[in-house]
Amino acid sequence: MQLLLAGASGGIGLAMLRQLLGEARWKRIYALYRRPSQALEALAREEPRLHLLQVDLSSDGDLEALPGKLEGPLNWVINTSGLLHDSERGMQPEKSLQQLNRDDLMAGFEVNAINHLLLLKALEPLLAKRDTLKVASLSARVGSIGDNRLGAGTAIVRARRRSTS
């Protein structure tokens, strides 16, 4: 069984990777990261089943080159890459309509939605066809349209309802 985990340098990604490496069923684990991480490099030195690949999921060139670096089939694909805030560009979770701006919205959609789909497009030829195949992409509860009683998105809608009633 082979697994690919994207966002491996992030908080959740690294924690999941450590957990998954404890399972003997994985013959090989590909871990995708963007910015180098000492914690990931230390894990890879100890664990021959772990293969690190530097991939910017927002780069079409990186995605096109990715299948050539993998040996399929992949049985599990987990994508924990995401963007909620970015101190370098002053991006914070918005709490009101007035805090929205085009650049941050576009960046959020790109990292949290578009990149997840384009990663699967790139991996499609390598996905297991006859054996187990599981694909998971992490989101956030505030992104749920079925269960969204918490979070800023709901607060914005409630505030708008109050102002129009």
Ligand X SMILES: NC(=O)c1ccc[n+]([C@@H]2O[C@H](COP(=O)([O-])OP(=O)(O)OC[C@H]3O[C@@H](n4cnc5c(N)ncnc54)[C@H](OP(=O)(O)O)[C@@H]3O)[C@@H](O)[C@H]2O)c1
CA 141 to the chain's CA centroid: 15
Q: Does 128 help bind ligand X (rule: CB under 6 A)?
A: no
Q: Does 138 help bind ligand X (rule: CB under 6 A)?
A: yes
**Judged by CB, which is closer to ligand X: 86, or 131?**
86
Q: Give the number of residues in contact with ligand X, rule: CB under 6 A.
A: 21
Cα-based distances in Å from 56 to 33, 64, 108: 7, 11, 15
**Judged by CB, which is closer to ligand X: 1, or 51?**
51
Could you say which of 63, 70, 111, 122 contacts ligand X (CB under 6 A)?
Answer: 111
Burial class of residue 83, CB neighbours in 10 A (0-12, 13-18, 19+): middle
Backbone CA torsion sign across 72, 73, 78, 83:
positive
Cα-based distances in Å from 30 to 16, 25, 76, 117: 13, 14, 10, 18
Could you say which of 2, 4, 5, 13 contacts ligand X (CB under 6 A)?
Answer: 13
**Judged by CB, which is closer to ligand X: 128, or 138?**
138
Binding site for ligand X (CB under 6 A): 7, 9-13, 34-35, 56-58, 80-84, 111-112, 115, 138, 140
